[in-house]
Amino acid sequence: MLTRGHQLLRNMFGLDYRSLAFLRMALAALNLANLYVSLPWLRTFYTDDGVLPRATLLNFAYFPPTFSLYMADGSMSFAGALFALQAACALAMLVGYRTQLATVASYVLLFSQQGRNPYVLIGADQVLRLMSFWAMFLPLGRRWSLDVALGRVPPAAERDYVGWPGFAYTAQFVIIYYMSAVMKTGASWHVDYTAVYDALSLGVYGRPLGTWLNQFDGLTQALTRWTLYVEIYGPLLFILPMWNNWGRLLGLALLIGLQVGFNLTMNLGMFGLVMVGMLVCYVPDEFWRYVAEPMGQWLARRGRTLASSAAGKEFWQKRWRRWQAREQQASLHPGLVGGFIKRHARGLGWVRDGAVLALLAYVILWNHDVAPNREPLLPNEVKWVGWATGLDQQFDLFSPDPMLDDGWYVMQGWLWKGQPVNVFTGEREVTFARPAWIADTYPGQRWRRYLIYLWDPAYQPLMEPLAQYLTKNWNRRHGADEQLRYVEIYYMREIVGLHHTRSPTETRLLWTQVYDPALYPKVNPAAQPAGQTTLPP
């Protein structure tokens, strides 16, 4: 029997094996969703033919360099092959086939994708990376997996998993929410309570529901306070020593409700999906016992009824038995590496747990150092560990206050025959008028994040590759008589003010890319001060 102390620890940090299987499926689905939103911009953001060639990334060291398989080659075919491999690993995770290997490979490929272009990453990408890292150490394939069905791994003998990797995953989850609250130090969060109003006023993230809600000042002030309370105290409901199942149900309701509210009112890409995906390993036994498993049994009965009349049933049963026998035979003769792991499983488990605890201590020190007004504890000489493993982290969304800088881009190109065109959208007409919805001028979360970086003058070195990319895209799609003479990139800037006001729109010329006819297509960049525009003759 468990002692009372052991039972309290199990209540606080135990993870249901069914919920761990759910986490495996959620991670796989989120990896596939990440590829889905990134695939349309594969050439744009992950090849040398896009906005950020590898040479530019290496020379512009605003972010520390990280490991990335994509840096081995800059071609479209190589990036596409890595995307396909990443999708295959995610599918293997989804069905639980060679789960441990698929989980590790998925993390390496995800980390590589993010390292290739850190300027398109949103908060969801950081959380997905951290979830995937700690998941490598969790037993995700002990329930509802092909590994169990094929006899490659034994099914879980107990209901809950308790171990140091589960403790580390839960600690990381608590850190994410707690540090998100700690970083919100501005007056809009603690004095004026206007943070939610400021965030919903940003057209770059705007949604109709958020704009409508933003007219109620009392409501937005209450939501500002509520957001901080939920971020600080909500995660504690997942580690209650008593009544833990009901605490986790309440915590799930609060945090899922918070994320649904964020994503219904603002364009935050995959942020809500990832934050909810992080929580599924905390689904308690009551849900599986009274909801999911009865429903699954009903579906299984229906499936057997349908399958009994399907042609070729015997053929597929033979195939399955043959595959099962082959996998079981392979597990009896695991080879050199597999045999070593089997013979030294206990010792390797101690090594794993030691590494997990050391890395968790590292993460705690890292977050201590990035918190406001703290004396650094982590020496600079070991910062490379965070960058090399993907454990570097900073949860500063809308911190210390929501940004007030808002606006949209106009990317105007001039053809040799003197006609202006919109090189970003491909339209023949260029307008500087304020769009009905600023968020709609950004084609997806990757472009939104990238262009928000370019508002900052510190990122001006990234402007030239962007202008070259726009030029190549336009010239490829048009004939010799419609080639670009030069490109101008404007930022139409507005500042969110108090009492539902905004500053007048300021037209800022960020970059001009000129093409010399004698040297074409050699590029001759000519950045000009804001407000000075070279007109075609």
Q: What is the 3-state secondary structure (H, E, C) of 487-533?
A: EEEEEEEEEECCCCCECCCEEEEEEEEEECCCCCCCEEECCCCCCCC
Estimate to the nearest angstrom the gap between the alpha carbon of 414 and the chain centroid: 37
Residue linked to tokens 């209650």: 240
d(CA 419, CA 401): 43
Choice between 52 and 6, residue whose per-residue pLDDT is larger: 52
pLDDT of residue 307: 52
Structure tokens at 448: 């939104």
- Taking residues 193-221, report their average pLDDT: 94
Residue with tokens 């004026």: 192
Phi/psi of residue 411, each to 5°? -115, 100
Name the residue type at position 67.
F
pLDDT at 146 over 60: yes
Q: What is the pLDDT of residue 402?
A: 94
What is the pLDDT at residue 335?
Answer: 54
Q: What's the pLDDT tens digit per position in 401-420?
A: 999 999 999 999 999 888 89
> What is the reported pLDDT for 534?
38
The per-residue pLDDT of the chain, averaged, comes to: 87
Q: In this predicted structure, which of 133-147, 296-310, 478-492 has the lowest mean pLDDT?
A: 296-310
The Cα 98–Cα 109 span in angstroms is 16
Closest CA to 52 of 470, 513, 445, 465: 465
List strand residue ranges (DSSP E) for 416-459, in order.
420-422
pLDDT band of 519, cuts 50, 70, 90: very low
Residue at 425 is within a domain: yes
Q: What type of residue is 69?
A: L
pLDDT at position 457 is 87
Band of residue 520 on the pLDDT scale cut at 50, 70, 90? very low
Element (H, E) at 410: strand 405-415
DSSP state of 418: S
CA distances from 208 to 223, 266, 438, 452, 530 (A): 18, 9, 11, 21, 32
Q: What does the pLDDT average to over 222-234?
A: 95
**Looking at per-residue confidence, does 210 or 61 come out higher?**
210
Residue 478 falls within a domain, yes or no?
yes
- Domain span at residue 471 reads 405-525
User: Looking at the predicted structure, is the pLDDT value of residue 536 above 60?
Assistant: no
CB 204 within 8 A of CB 407: yes
Beta strand 484-495 with 506-515 is antiparallel
Q: Are 242 and 11 in contact (CB under 8 A)?
A: yes
For residue 141, the SS3 value is coil
d(CA 224, CA 184): 11
Backbone dihedral angles phi then psi of residue 406, each to the nearest 5 degrees: -135, 160
Give the residues across from 422 on adjacent strands.
412
DSSP lists the bridge partners of residue 486 as 414, 514
Average pLDDT, stretch 155-177?
A: 94
Angstrom distance (rounded) from CA 135 to CA 131: 6
The pairs formed by 145-148 with CB atoms below 8 angstroms and a separation of 24 or more are 145/21, 145/24, 145/95, 145/96, 145/97, 145/99, 146/95, 146/96, 146/97, 147/96, 147/97, 147/98, 147/99, 148/96
Look up the pTM and report it: 0.89
Residue 207 reports pLDDT greater than 90: yes
- Look up residue 228 and give its amino acid: L
Tell me what percent of the residues of the chain surpass a pLDDT of 70: 86
Per-residue pLDDT band for 3 (boundaries 50, 70, 90) equals confident
Q: Is the Cβ–Cβ distance between 255 and 232 less than 8 Å?
A: no
Q: Which of 62-66, 256-260, 499-503 has the lowest mean pLDDT?
A: 62-66
Predicted confidence (pLDDT) at residue 325 exceeds the cutoff of 90: no
Residues 221, 234: contact at Cβ < 8 Å? no
Count of domains for the chain: 1
Query: Would the pLDDT of 304 be above 80?
Result: no
What distance in Å separates the CA atoms of residue 97 and residue 316, rounded to the nearest whole number?
Answer: 18
Query: Nearest 5°: CA angle at 365, between 362 and 368?
Result: 150
pLDDT digits (tens, 9 = 90+) for 414-450: 998 888 999 999 888 899 999 999 999 999 899 999 9
Q: What is the mean pLDDT of residues 67-88?
A: 96
pLDDT in tens, 331-384: 655 555 555 555 555 677 789 999 999 999 999 999 999 999 888 899 989 999
Q: Is the pLDDT of residue 456 over 80?
A: yes
pLDDT at 287: 85
Choose the weakest-confidence range: 173-187, 189-203, 214-228, 477-491: 477-491
Residue type, 82: L
Q: Please tell me the distance from the alpha carbon of residue 254 to that of residue 341, in angstroms, as a whole number.
A: 42
SS3 135: helix
Whether the per-residue pLDDT at 529 is higher than 50: the answer is no
The residues, any chain, with a CB within 8 Å of residue 175's CB and separated by 6 or more, are 363, 364, 367, 393
**Alpha-helical regions (H) of 117-163:** 123-135, 146-149
Asked if 110 and 41 touch (Cβ cutoff 8 Å), the reply is no
Peptide bond into 517 cis (omega under 30): no
Structure tokens at 66: 């990280």
Cα angle value 292/296/302 (rounded, 5°): 150
Which range, of 152-161, 266-275, 310-319, averages the lowest pLDDT?
310-319
Please report the pLDDT score of residue 295 as a whole number. Answer: 81
pLDDT band at 526 (very low <50, low <70, confident <90, very high): very low
Structure tokens at 185: 């130090």
Query: Which residue's structure tokens are 């597929």?
Result: 316
> What is the reported pLDDT for 326?
61
Q: What is the DSSP letter of 203?
A: G
Residue 494 counted as domain residue: yes
pLDDT at residue 296, as a whole number: 73
How far apart are alpha carbons 262 and 266 in whole angstroms? Answer: 6
Chain length of the chain? 537
Q: Comparing C-alpha atoms, which of 56, 51, 54 is closest to residue 70?
A: 54
Q: Which of 65, 122, 59 is nearest to 464 (CA)?
A: 59
Asked if residue 190 is part of any domain, the answer here is: no
Mean pLDDT of 61-71: 80
- Residue 320: what pLDDT? 56
Reading the block at residue 417, the tokens are 């025959």
